[in-house]
């Protein structure tokens, strides 16, 4: 499957919005800090922003602001290395440093956090890109990923992907298409972390061993040695290692590989797994999975929902049918509490095809010609259809299917995408910041999301109907396996607003300033996690 892309001209509306936001960007962007020690200047010929026809006006400035913040967070975290950290906080700190390390990309210009910033709920923090391309440029700036960056908050709670024969459904895994199954490492989050560093359209390293090489030359090697020992220092690196690791993948998706002995190759493979497990440790920490929202305080008996929020909560569990997939700890119409009520995750870890229209603003559909390195992301161009979980299960996408018996189910999962948590779905750096929603970013606000669920079955008579997103919706990209639970819910405009008000109570940070509330919530979280282990 094609995961990343090229782009047509933007719609007039999107371009106008981008131009307006450009002015805002000029106000927001602070001067970019000097590159940290060891951060090379970019020599990639595709990095000239002026020649990148995919980046809308103002996006370069917003990305510079994001990278400046990433560098600042990395510098602050580096100061923790020589402090008295216990073993748990050592590995979590190591994982955080990896996530904010831009040197782990082919051009040393992009980290995991470039697409997953804390203030945006661990997803994309460029308002302009959210409004236009949805997908974010990779280390090679003319290459874009094919979907909206998915939040990694609470992702570590996803189980290893498995097929439940009783429920006749797949549960668990990470990525929108569930391809990070967790089967090999028994951690879906860790296997997800191994994807972006070597994805040609994301961080773009040509060889997974380049992670070990860059870490061995990096600023937190001493912490790595504390956590994982000295094996990383015993590898004999070839003289051209720096050049190899700085060369993007080219024709036929092939890039240069480091010339290593079989023994050293085994070591780098192990180190790559350790690298991913450290990231999963950070992603599973209370810094990311905080369970500190107003709703958590409400469950702990230490906050009251407003009448609007309360009504939204009731609709969420009832007429809105949100709770059918985004489990809130209370089934529709259920009474009484269980341990799951202490800290519900707001996902059932399954997948669904909601019938979203194709989003032709994603550059993937136009990246059907060789780039400066001869790499073609999507030979199918606009004919490409994102089949999601179905493409993964069929084997056509290229990721290994750990249980071959699963492949028989592929047609039944065409168009389905992993159900994300709605925790932190409204987390944003400032109130008017525009986020992109759903796997292809077609929806731009929580109001649009709820309105889509409510009225999806009102089809537009023509593909480019002027009333699209208002009184009707374009045809789905994939009509197979469409979820019929939603689409004609009969909610009023005020009902939609009330559900949005409830969703906003799921933003973390509400109760962290109250020690008593935080303690009660943490006790509930421990109880929930203990129940999941039994």
Q: Where are the alpha helices (DSSP H) in 305-394?
A: 307-317, 389-394
Top-level CATH class of 54-160+174-289? mainly alpha
Strand, coil or helix: 336: coil
Quickly count: other Cβ atoms within 10 Å of residue 24's Cβ. Answer: 17
Backbone φ, ψ for residue 268 (5° rounding): -70, -30
d(CA 416, CA 10): 27
Q: What angle do CA 271, 272, 277 make, to 5 degrees?
A: 95
What is the spatial distance between Cα 4 and Cα 145, in angstroms, rounded to a whole number?
Answer: 4
The ranges assigned to domains in the chain are 54-160+174-289
Its pTM stands at 0.88
- Supply the pLDDT for residue 329: 81
Whole-angstrom Cα distance, residue 191 to residue 197? 12
Beta strands 4-5; 169-171: pairing state: unpaired
Sign of the C-alpha dihedral, residues 449, 453, 458, 459? Answer: positive
CA dist 226 → 55, 82, 94, 102, 210 (Å): 41, 11, 10, 22, 21
Residue of 422, 421, 371, 416 whose CA lies nearest to 393: 416
Q: How far apart are CA 67 and CA 42, in angstroms?
A: 14
pLDDT score recorded for residue 341: 52
What is the structure's pLDDT at 54? 84
Residue 4: its H or E element: strand 4-5
Name beta bridge partners: 174: 180
According to the model, what pLDDT value does residue 87 have?
A: 97
- Cα distance between residue 397 and residue 178, in whole Å: 12
Residue 270 parent element (H or E): helix 262-283
pLDDT in tens, the chain (534 residues): 443 333 333 343 443 444 334 433 333 333 333 343 344 444 454 555 444 678 999 999 999 999 999 999 999 999 999 999 999 999 999 999 999 999 999 999 999 999 999 999 999 999 999 999 999 999 999 999 899 999 999 999 999 999 999 999 999 999 999 999 999 999 999 999 999 999 999 999 999 999 999 999 999 999 999 999 999 999 999 999 999 999 999 999 999 999 999 999 999 999 999 999 999 999 999 999 999 999 999 988 889 999 999 999 999 999 999 999 999 985 444 444 444 455 799 999 999 999 999 999 999 999 999 999 999 999 999 999 999 999 999 999 889 999 999 999 999 999 999 999 999 999 999 999 999 999 999 999 999 999 999 999 999 999 889 999 999 999 999 999 999 999 999 999 999 999 999 999 999 999 655 666 666 666 665 665 555 445
| pLDDT value, residue 302 | 87
Nearest-Å Rg of the Cα atoms of the chain is: 23
Q: How far apart are CA 31 and CA 534, in angstroms?
A: 51
Residues 151, 517: Cα–Cα separation, whole Å:
26
Query: Would you state the pLDDT for residue 397?
Result: 86
What DSSP letter does each residue of 428-492 carry, written as one string? -SSTT----BSTT--B-SHHHHHHHHHHTTSB-SSTT-TTBTTTBBPPPS--TTB--SSS-----
């Amino acid at each position: 499957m094609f995961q990343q892309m090229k782009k047509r001209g933007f719609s007039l509306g999107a371009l106008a919005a981008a131009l307006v936001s450009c002015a805002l960007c000029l106000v927001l962007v602070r001067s970019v800090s000097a590159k940290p020690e060891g951060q090379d200047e970019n020599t990639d010929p595709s990095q000239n922003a002026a020649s990148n026809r995919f980046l809308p006006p103002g996006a370069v400035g917003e990305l510079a602001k994001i990278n400046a913040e990433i560098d600042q967070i990395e510098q602050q975290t580096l100061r923790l290395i020589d402090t008295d950290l216990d073993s748990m906080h050592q590995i979590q700190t190591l994982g955080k440093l990896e996530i904010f390390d831009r040197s782990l990309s082919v051009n040393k210009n992009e980290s995991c956090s470039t697409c997953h910033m804390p203030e945006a709920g661990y997803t994309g923090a460029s308002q302009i890109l959210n409004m236009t391309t949805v997908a974010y440029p990779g280390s090679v700036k003319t290459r874009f990923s094919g979907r909206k960056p998915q939040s990694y908050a609470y992702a570590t709670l996803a189980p290893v992907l498995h097929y439940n024969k009783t429920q006749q459904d797949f549960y668990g895994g990470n990525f929108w298409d569930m391809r990070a199954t967790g089967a090999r490492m028994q951690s879906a989050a860790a296997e997800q972390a191994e994807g972006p560093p070597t994805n040609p359209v994301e961080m773009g390293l040509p060889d997974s061993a380049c992670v070990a090489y860059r870490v061995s030359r990096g600023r937190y090697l001493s912490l790595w040695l504390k956590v994982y020992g000295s094996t990383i220092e015993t590898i004999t690196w070839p003289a051209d290692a720096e050049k190899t690791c700085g060369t993007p993948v080219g024709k036929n998706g092939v890039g240069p590989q480091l010339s290593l002995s079989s023994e050293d190759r085994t070591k780098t493979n192990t180190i790559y797994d350790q690298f991913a497990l450290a990231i999963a440790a950070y992603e599973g920490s209370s810094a990311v999975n905080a369970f500190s929202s107003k709703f958590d305080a409400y469950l702990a008996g230490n906050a009251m929902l407003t009448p609007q929020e309360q009504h939204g909560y009731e609709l969420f569990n009832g007429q809105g049918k949100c709770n059918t997939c985004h489990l809130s700890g209370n089934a529709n119409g259920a009474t009484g509490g269980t341990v799951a009520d202490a800290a519900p995750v707001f996902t059932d870890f399954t997948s669904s095809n909601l019938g979203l229209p194709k989003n032709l603003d994603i550059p993937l559909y136009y990246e059907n010609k060789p780039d400066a390195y001869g790499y073609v992301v999507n030979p199918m161009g606009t004919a490409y259809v994102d089949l999601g979980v179905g493409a993964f299960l069929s084997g056509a996408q290229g990721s290994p299917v750990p249980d071959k018996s699963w492949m028989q189910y592929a047609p039944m999962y065409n168009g389905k995408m992993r159900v994300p948590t709605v925790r932190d779905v409204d987390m944003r750096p400032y109130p008017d910041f525009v986020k992109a929603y759903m796997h292809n970013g077609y929806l731009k606000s929580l109001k649009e999301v709820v309105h889509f669920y409510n009225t999806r079955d009102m089809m537009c008579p023509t593909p480019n109907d002027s009333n699209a997103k208002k009184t009707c919706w374009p045809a789905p990209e994939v009509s197979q396996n469409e979820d019929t639970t939603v689409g004609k819910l009969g909610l009023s405009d005020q009902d939609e607003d009330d559900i949005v008000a409830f969703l906003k109570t799921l933003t973390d940070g509400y109760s962290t300033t109250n020690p008593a509330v935080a303690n009660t919530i943490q006790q509930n979280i421990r109880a929930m996690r203990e129940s999941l282990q039994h």
